[in-house]
Structure 1
Amino acid sequence: MALSVYLAGQIHDDWRNEVRKKAEQKALPLHFTGPQEDHSLSDDIGEKILGEQPSKEYHDDAASSINNFRTRILLQKADVVIAYFGESYKQWNTALDAGSAIQAGKPLILIRPDSLIHPLKELSNQADVTVKTIDQALEVLAYLYK
């Protein structure tokens, strides 16, 4: 049984590659999707499709509409969502995706370090499972196959 896993979280470092690599090493039958990882494409997709926008606000609004459309479809097709909160970057999109997963009734694994226990306490309480590391999240998924 292969599962589709939506990897919600910031796109500024390679945490998704770590998840993919470790899942492959464990021979887990997982297919991964997530937000657009090409940051420039994500930021500029509105103008690429709709044409030049009159201001930065419209530029961002056009891109966010298309990125939200993409996220909504991929998240709804996912069997499970992993939301990764790290130490280094602002996590607004991660929180939005995790909340969307909860509202859609998608099983949610929340990864967050000890430093974010307090700010994410309500979200963590709504997640199906909260862990501290990528390895722990993958062990949760591996458990499905035992």
Structure 2
Amino acid sequence: MAFTVYLSGEIHTNWREEIKRGAAAKGLNITFTSAVTDHDASDAAGDHLGPESSSFWRDHKSAKVNAIRTKTLIEQSDLVVVRFGDKYKQWNAAFDAGYCAALGKPYVTLHAEDIIHPLKEVDAAALAWATTTEQVVDILAYVLRD
């Protein structure tokens, strides 16, 4: 079986690469997709459409351009992994999880135990909660098992 997995959330650590390496090591037939993880490029996604008078409108325009990719790839995925890190609040990741819930798209959350409480609603709709990338890879291996 082949799977497409969208990797959502925190962009400041190498968790995506850990999952990709783990899946490759297990021989899993997975195509991984993601939002643009270059923070500056993401913030500037709408800049080519012209300057804005305030940062709100620049962010608004870039968010919409980014959503073209994000919405399309989430909708095309079989599963979404939503990572919440400890350094920054990932409001975009929470939005992606809510979008998955609204679509009925299966998702797994990946975060530390110390943020269970603020993510209780996000975790309640998830089909699994993992604390390590190895656990995510194990979930993928099980789901793709013959």
Q: In structure 1, what is the equivalent of residue 28 of structure 2? A: 28
Give the letter aligned to residue 74 of structure 2: L
Q: In structure 2, what is the equivalent of residue 2 of structure 1? A: 2
Q: In structure 2, what is the equivalent of residue 126 of structure 1? A: 125
TM-score calculated relative to the size of structure 2: 0.93
* 1:3-59 Cα distance to aligned partner (Å, 9 max, x none): 0001010222222111111111121111111111121211111012x1222222221
Per the alignment, in what secondary structure is the counterpart of residue 20 of structure 1? Answer: helix
Separation in 1 of the partners of 2:13 and 2:144?
29
* 1:77-128 Cα distance to aligned partner (Å, 9 max, x none): 0000001112222111111101111111111111121101111112111111
* 1:55-78 Cα distance to aligned partner (Å, 9 max, x none): 222211110111112111110000
Per the alignment, in what secondary structure is the counterpart of residue 5 of structure 2? Answer: strand
Per the alignment, in what secondary structure is the counterpart of residue 135 of structure 1? Answer: helix
Separation in 2 of the partners of 1:44 and 1:7?
21
Per the alignment, in what secondary structure is the counterpart of residue 100 of structure 2? Answer: helix
Which stretch of the first structure deviates more once superposed, 73-82 or 7-16? 7-16
Q: Unmatched 5+ residue regions in structure 1?
A: none
Per the alignment, in what secondary structure is the counterpart of residue 119 of structure 1? Answer: helix
> How much identity, in percent, do the aligned residues show?
39
Q: In structure 1, what is the equivalent of residue 38 of structure 2? A: 38
TM-score calculated relative to the size of structure 1: 0.93
Contact kept? 2:82, 2:110, Cα under 8 Å:
yes
Report how many residues are paired.
145
Separation in 1 of the partners of 2:15 and 2:97?
17
Separation in 2 of the partners of 1:22 and 1:67?
28
Give the letter aligned to residue 70 of structure 2: T
Q: CA RMSD in A?
A: 1.2
Separation in 2 of the partners of 1:145 and 1:93?
28
Q: Unmatched 5+ residue regions in structure 2?
A: none
Per the alignment, in what secondary structure is the counterpart of residue 83 of structure 1? Answer: strand
- Report how far residue 142 of structure 1 moved: 0.3
Give the letter aligned to residue 20 of structure 1: K
Contact kept? 2:2, 2:144, Cα under 8 Å:
no
Separation in 2 of the partners of 1:133 and 1:75?
22
